Amino acid sequence: MERRHIHPDGPEFSRIISGAWRWHTVSSSVLASLIHTSLDSGITTFDHADIYGDHGNEEIFGNTLRAEPGLRKKMELVTKCGIKFPSQKRPATRVKHYDTSKKHIIWSAENSLNMLGTDYIDLLLIHRPDPLMDPVQVAEAFAELKISGKVRYFGVSNFTPPQFEMLQSYLDFPLVTNQLELSVLHHRPFFDGSLDVLMKHRISPMAWSPLGGGRLVEQPGEVFTSAGNYGATDNQMALAWLLRHPSAIFPVIGTTRPERIVESAAAINVKLDIQDWFAMLKAAMGAEMP
């Protein structure tokens, strides 16, 4: 599996990342198998968020790490913070909202450390743009977490280019990524400047929902007509389409099936021809390029 830095001054991740957002739906033995299969396939980076699994996903992942302490040294952990929603586990929350205050960011990061059973997080992301975000408070929280060694790197998720650059202007160190919805079906960020501003700062994006929420492989249509020429599956073609982009996208796969992890990891070996890349885009858009 290819590994590369997501930013020149950022962490080195596996080019394909295992997203653990649905892993609370499987047994502990299957979850352990998903972790081991990922690592055996060269996928060393795991993506979480504090809210996944009704605030329980990190803890069950952490239970595997507690049972097998040596695993932590073989992986990189990404998690997110900033979203709150009503839950029995969070009785004080009455309405879904965002909270990017210094107090909450630090509390959330420390809670994630406890849940994951680790003493540091490789990358912490602000999960969604917050209309009430005070960038000074975010910067202070990030700086405190960095100095303490609790979080090594920071980034955002779902930020527009102006939102990204605004927050970056308040920091003394770089945001190392923006995790965006990216797939051949959700291709708007390829044209609206989202990827361009990241490339401007030599930053690679992370891609959530790289298979279009499953729609690509469930109803592929004409998108994958060239798959046979590569000896690839539709799943691999969808990932290869993202991997082909010069911004060096890091797709986050979200499967709960070990065999899908193995299949996805092999997508790194599929090198799409430029015309096939545009043929897939044409099929998804339903029209020729202008």
Catalytic residues: 52
Q: Where does residue 146 rank: exposed (0-12), middle (13-18), buried (19+ CB within 10 A)?
A: middle
The β-bridge relationship of strands 12-14 and 3-5 is antiparallel
Three-state DSSP at 19 gives: strand
Expressed in percent and rounded to 5, the helix, strand and coil fractions of the chain are 45, 20, 40
Instruction: Output the CA–CA distances (angstroms, integers) from residue 9 to 129, 175, 201, 204, 226, in the order listed.
Output: 24, 10, 11, 12, 37
Instruction: Output the CA–CA distances (angstroms, integers) from residue 60 to 14, 67, 196, in the order listed.
Output: 22, 11, 37
